[in-house]
Amino acid sequence: MALSAEQLLLILIVVSFTPPIIYAGWIRRAAAYQQVRTGTLAKGFIFGAILGVIVAIILSLILIYVYASQGQNFYQRLGFTGSLPEIIVLGSVIAPLAEEIAKLLGVHLLRSNLRQHGDGFVIGGSCGLGFAATENALYGLAAYFEAGLEGLIVVAVLRALTSALLHASATAISGHGYALFHLHGQTRWLILNYFVAVFLHGFFNLMAALGVLYEAQYGILPFIVGLLVILVVSWGAIRYVRREVAEADLANAIAAKEKKAT
């Protein structure tokens, strides 16, 4: 089914942006007492959708250049011969390193809105979801030109159920680390949570690439295994984030009540 440019744009916007917007509100509502302001949530989402993507592309190009010029020497220094498949290097190393820095920049720019450390989860999640929305649109557009409207819809559904949640969870975790750094000067949590986000993102991408890596040997099985793993990772991570938001918000409300009572 051929679509006009206007129809394609409308469908892309709806299927790519609606799930992330819903998820952003879902994460925010995990806080029962002091929720992040809607305007702050929107700013984080817009940053991720526009500037976050631009910064990620620039950082990725820089890392790709460094890898292309130094990658072989790096392997040799470690005692390895040959090189890793490009899909692993790009998807599981370069993309997570670049994208998690780019999305975390949104939390930094909105740092004045961090009133409690749990807000870092929510603002980070909104930045990640904005990034995911634009990425969804780009992948959906590519799928449309390759497989038509059906391909676009399949990609949109799969990404809504997996990668959108992954981007939200990873940047929520690094955003929490930034909040602990900003509010309490705990630098170690900023560094640790950033690399946890990178690892989570990289592992997700590696599992998503299983089918491409092993299709020749095992057929469709790696695709199925990879999909099941990333579904578990995506939903497990977002459940963890929402639980942490709720617990941090409750703890802050209790502390505020006790302070008021004294």
Q: Which residues contact 211 (CB under 8 A, 6 or more apart)?
A: 220, 222, 223, 226
CB 94 within 8 A of CB 67: yes
pLDDT in tens, 203-213: 999 999 999 88
CA distance linking residue 137 with residue 99, whole number of Å = 17
Q: For residues 92 and 201, give the distance between their C-alpha atoms in angstroms, rounded to a whole number.
A: 7
Does the pLDDT at position 249 exceed 80? yes
- Evaluate if residue 81 carries a pLDDT over 60: no
Say whether pLDDT at 190 is over 60: yes
**Rounded distance between C-alpha atoms, residue 42 and residue 44, angstroms:** 5
pTM of the predicted protein model: 0.93
| Cβ neighbours for 77, distance < 8 A, ≥ 6 positions apart | none
Segment (H or E) for 112: none
pLDDT tens column, 124-179: 999 999 999 999 999 999 999 999 999 999 999 999 999 999 999 999 999 999 99
pLDDT at residue 55 in the model: 98
Asked if 230 and 159 touch (Cβ cutoff 8 Å), the reply is no
